[in-house]
Amino acid sequence: MLGLPQSTEVKRPLPKAQLYKRFDWMPSQRDSFDGEVSRLDFINWIAPRTLPAIAEGTEVKEIFVIEVSLKNRDFDTKNIVLLAKSIPQRVIYLLRFEDEAMLAVYYTKLFTSSWQPLDNVSVRLDGLNLDAVWQSIVAFVGDLEVADGNSLTEQIRLDDERTKLVHQIESLECQMRSTSQHRRQRELYSEIKKLKSFL
């Protein structure tokens, strides 16, 4: 599954009741999670022990893949964030609903890919050590173009700032279209032009 080597396959259930007990989730969190997730399974373990060609990283010692079987295609991402924050490991989440799936990873925030047929979903292991492999997985799932000289964290920050700027510009353009005062339109236009120069 996911195009990962057979040596990494684990396929072990992760009972939800065990999670609730271990991480002491509030009843509302448990109910929300239980309402959207039918089951959890460990399906892959990526480590030097299962893939001798990839060395242990300075920060990343192993990467797990957890399959999350969803009851609904439209799920609340807060439940996946809660799960990711509770498990102090590097984890790739295979979110599955019927014959469709998407990937999710948590690295400063939750990144998800788009829904695809299950057979089309794959994970590439790029890098000589697990630090590099993890960064390439986060960049792939988050659809991030990491520019030369930027760390992954820096690139995420830059992408977030760019997204905020684009939303700000869209909001100002909407205001400009709705106002009939020429002076206000000119002010908004110059502000939009200034913001666009930062993109």
pLDDT digits (tens, 9 = 90+) for 99-120: 999 999 999 899 999 999 999 9
- Looking at the 3D structure of the chain, how many domains does it have? 2
State which residues form the domain around 158. 152-196
In a domain, 23, yes or no: yes
In a domain, 22, yes or no: yes
pTM beyond 0.95, yes or no: no
Q: Are strands 90-97 and 100-107 parallel, antiparallel or unpaired?
A: antiparallel
| Residue 182 in domain | yes
Provide the H-helix boundaries in the chain. Answer: 16-23, 27-36, 77-86, 130-141, 152-178, 182-196
**Boundary residue ending a domain (94, 114, 141):** 141
**Span between the terminal Cα atoms of the chain, in Å:** 39
Do 178 and 96 belong to one domain?
no
Domain assignment present for residue 45? The answer is yes
> How far is 79 from 30, CA to CA, in rounded Å?
9
What does the pLDDT read at residue 192? Answer: 87
| Domain match, 129 and 156 both | no
Same-domain status, 159 and 129:
no
Residues in the chain with pLDDT values less than 70: 146-150
Q: H or E segment at 46?
A: strand 37-46
- Residues with Cβ within 8 Å of 64's Cβ and at least 6 positions away in sequence, in order, are 42, 44, 45, 46, 89, 90, 91, 92
Q: What is the structure's pLDDT at 99?
A: 93
Same domain, 137 and 182: no
